[in-house]
Structure 1
Amino acid sequence: MHTQSNELQGTQYSPTRIRATWDGTGSVEDASKALGFSRAKGYDLVRRGEFPCRVLRVGRTTRVVTASLLRVLESGEPEYNGARRAPSTPA
């Protein structure tokens, strides 16, 4: 029974399901689950500017860009927000 529950949860956050059911953005909580970590870890990564997908902040609301999440899920490569990247130093 426990295995069936895990299979259903995995299907809920599959790229196919996300494409079919999410709008242009999703919650940090749902994106974190899709990526395999907890809500708390997701918000911690957002706070540090290290969430593996593009994140939008509008006022007090934080949303994850669905297209970015799908690229990360399909490629396995992070696509950092870049909001906190250090400026380049001249060579």
Structure 2
Amino acid sequence: MNTQIEETLGPRYSPAHIRATWDGTGSVEDASKALGFSRAKGYDLIRNGQFPCRVLRIGRKTRVVTASLLRVLESGDPEYNDARAGCRPTP
């Protein structure tokens, strides 16, 4: 990537860079890094229904909704995604 473009977009996991380079969904690993924790912690939060933004299961893959991730990064307010309808995560 051109250095001038990298300077314009900022760090790899900044909202501006994510908005410019990601499609509709991103990997759990990249979303976790953008939120400041490890891939393992991201999957643990997903299993417990506590990942701070919307998550989709597509076949055997798990993807994070880019728009939701951007809202969480910009506002700081989580959009918990509890895949088990009607169940609340245990505190």
Q: SS where residue 13 of structure 1 aligns?
A: coil
Number of the residue aligned with 2:21: 21
Number of the residue aligned with 1:70: 70
Task: Work out the number of aligned pairs and report it.
Answer: 79
Asked if 1:86 corresponds to 2:86, the answer is: yes
User: How far apart are the structure 2 equivalents of 1:51 and 1:87?
Assistant: 15
Residue 82 of structure 1 deviates from its aligned partner by 2.8
Residue 86 of structure 1 deviates from its aligned partner by 3.3
RMSD over aligned Cα atoms: 1.7
Residue 84 of structure 1 deviates from its aligned partner by 2.5
Residue 87 of structure 1 deviates from its aligned partner by 5.3
Residue 30 of structure 1 deviates from its aligned partner by 0.1
User: How far apart are the structure 1 equivalents of 2:46 and 2:87?
Assistant: 19
Q: Deviations over 1:58-87 (max 9, x none)?
A: 121000000000000000010011322535
In structure 2, the gaps of 5 or more residues are: 1-9
In structure 1, the gaps of 5 or more residues are: 1-9
Question: What TM-score does the superposition give when structure 2 sets the normalisation length?
Answer: 0.81
Structure showing greater radius of gyration is 1
Return the structure number with greater helix share.
Answer: 1
Q: 1:15/1:56 Cα in 2 relative to 1: closer, same or farther (>3 Å)?
A: same
Q: Deviations over 1:23-73 (max 9, x none)?
A: 000000000000000000001001111100000001210000000000000
Asked if 1:32 corresponds to 2:32, the answer is: yes
Question: What TM-score does the superposition give when structure 1 sets the normalisation length?
Answer: 0.81
